[in-house]
Amino acid sequence: MSFIEVSSLLSIMPNLHLSVVAGKNGLDRHIVTTDVNRPGLALAGFYKNLASKRVQVFGKGEQAFIQDCSEDELERIIAEFFKYKFPALIFTHDTIPPERFIEAAEKSSTPIFRSSYSTHDFIIQYTRVITEELAPSTSIHGVLIEVFGVGVLLMGASGIGKSETAIELIERGHRLIADDIVKIRCLNNTQLYGYTSELIQHHMELRGIGIINVKDLFGVGAIRQSKRLELVVYLEDWDPSKDYERLGLNEETVDILGVQLERLLIPVRPGRNVPILIETAAMNFRSKLMGYHAAKDLSDRIASQIEKKSGSSKK
């Protein structure tokens, strides 16, 4: 099961201006779901089906309820509420919880944060970031590059020329996302996004030259931090005995994290301009997304012509 530690909220969500109010000893607790919970019913005493594994968000409604409680009611709430091991409590609108809440959080090691965001804005931003962090992920050896807006993953055996091909594409105005190690996350079970490793981001290894920094050499316009992955291009040495696709009617796919992506096999040999072939593949892919499939269109036209000639010959 995917999870992140509660302490990670401070680093992955800097824009939410989170600050720890209490419960620092519980910052190693795990967040395992993207959903949040508004605990209004629980504060009122109804705990059936309480989503205790979710981060609990205290908006203005929950905060007003607590403030209006008598001392006895607040003691009851605290005694029942902190029996559950919540990942964390978040107080929005930059509100500081009552002192008794803070004491109970310290005693039970339950992290409490405060955020200057409104409840609505906080939940939107939190859900967006946490969905990425908890998404199924993997790492693939290859090069991810954006070509005419299409996220193209270059794969192939070591030394086949993936990085060299990527450099040529970058020089032609396309953008690098990741070289060597491509981190991939699956969002909404349907979309794959590729990211660069923080350690080696923007760097490439070119045999005979060494390590280069693409951002420094080609400028910030030559890089991206992430990109949706849409097309896989596998490079391999040309095998004369192999029958390569020539029409484009038989589309192959590859499964990555349960998502099927179109896969092209491009043979490499002297004289073949691989960067131009990849540019053409990206444009052809975009054309198919827009509803025009050149290979199928030509095949249909030929079949229609054959049918017409066959019909006329019978007459």
pLDDT score of 1: 56
Residue 205 has pLDDT above 90, yes or no: no
Nearest partner of 232 among 278, 166, 284, 185, judged by Cα = 278
Q: Is 35 a catalytic residue?
A: no
Whether 300 sits among the annotated catalytic residues: the reply is: no
Tell me whether residue 93 is one of the annotated catalytic residues.
no
Summary mean pLDDT of the chain:
90
What topology does CATH give the domain 136-297?
A: Rossmann fold (3.40.50)
- pLDDT tens digit sequence for 115-154: 999 999 999 999 999 998 899 999 999 999 999 999 999 9
Q: Where in the chain is the domain with CATH 3.40.1390.20?
A: 4-133
**Euclidean distance between CA atoms 313 and 284, whole angstroms:** 37
**In this predicted model, what pLDDT tens digit does every residue of 182-191 receive, in sequence order?**
999 999 889 9
CATH class of the domain defined by 4-133: alpha beta
First CA to last CA across the chain, in angstroms?
Answer: 69
Annotated catalytic residue: which of 48, 246, 314, 315?
246
Using the predicted structure, report yes or no on whether residue 248 has a pLDDT greater than 80.
no
Choose the catalytic residue: 60, 83, 141, 308.
Answer: 141
Determine which one of 162, 185, 202, 224 is catalytic: 162
Q: Per-residue pLDDT averaged across 97-113, rounded?
A: 93
Average pLDDT value for residue range 82-86: 94
215: pLDDT strictly greater than 70? yes
To the nearest whole percent, how much of the chain has pLDDT over 70?
98
Q: Output the pLDDT for position 313.
A: 62
Q: Specify whether 162 is catalytic.
A: yes
Would you say 64 and 92 are in contact if contact means Cβ atoms under 8 Å apart? no
Q: In 54-80, which positions are buried (b, 16+ CB within 10 angstroms) versus exposed (e)?
A: bbbbbbeebbebbeebeeeebeebbee
Pairing of strands 231-237, 150-156: parallel
| Per-residue confidence band for 312, with pLDDT thresholds at 50, 70 and 90 | low
Active-site residue (options: 38, 53, 76, 180): 180
Query: Whole-model pTM?
Result: 0.79
Q: In the chain, which residues fall in CATH 3.40.50.300? A: 136-297
Asked whether the beta carbons of 204 and 128 are under 8 A apart, the reply is no
Cα–Cα distances in angstroms (integers) from residue 182 to residues 155, 175, 214, in the given order:
10, 14, 16
* Side chain identity at residue 315, one-letter code: K
| pLDDT single digits (tens) 21-44 | 999 999 999 999 999 999 999 999
φ, ψ for residue 121 (rounded to 5)? Answer: -65, -35
Would you place residue 194 in the very low, low, confident or very high pLDDT band (cuts 50, 70, 90)? very high
Q: What pLDDT, on the 0 to 100 scale, is given for residue 315?
A: 57
Q: Is 219 helix (H, G, I), strand (E, B) or coil?
A: coil
The half-sphere exposure of 126 on its side-chain side, counting CA atoms within 13 A, is 29
